[in-house]
Amino acid sequence: MSPLEIAVREAASGPVLEITGELDYTSAGELRTALATVTVRPGLRLVLDLAGMTYCDSSGITALLAARNHALAARADIALAAVPADTVRVLGMVGLDQVFPLHPDTATATDP
């Protein structure tokens, strides 16, 4: 088990949350809590850097949707960066690859 760690930093395009570890039933609430502390300004982009994410279950997917809702409520965009292949597969199976912009890395996702 790899505990969830979330680091927040600012980029020119908006906030970046670097998610490391397992995003699952036991830790999804941590992402929601972190989102509540992040200010997303209209017209900017919230980026979730998933390069260090080792596992994501359905609760984790729901937390990603909560992040999307947080961004949309602020009239901002959202992007997922460096999404692990197994998570890309799940997003594709449920059609969320059409909802989330997916980028190969954070540099691409934060490019204004």
Other Cβ atoms within 10 Å of 63 Cβ, number: 26
Alpha carbons within 13 angstroms on the beta-carbon side of residue 108 total 10
Q: In this predicted model, what pLDDT tens digit does every residue of 17-75 receive, in sequence order?
A: 999 999 999 999 999 999 999 999 999 999 999 999 999 999 999 999 999 999 999 99
Q: In this predicted model, what pLDDT tens digit does every residue of 68-79 receive, in sequence order?
A: 999 999 999 999
Residue 35 burial (C-beta neighbours within 10 Å; 0-12, 13-18, 19+): buried
Q: In the sheet where 77-81 sits, what is the strand order?
A: 5-11, 14-23, 45-56, 77-81, 102-103
Q: What is the pLDDT of residue 41?
A: 96
**R_g of the chain, CA atoms, integer Å:** 13
DSSP 85: H
Alpha carbons within 13 angstroms on the beta-carbon side of residue 61 total 16
pLDDT band at 112 (very low <50, low <70, confident <90, very high): confident
Q: The domain that contains 82 carries what CATH number? A: 3.30.750.24
Domain holding 96, by residue range, is 5-109
Contacts of 71 (CB under 8 A, 6+ apart): 40, 45, 46, 77, 78
Has residue 1 got a pLDDT over 80? no
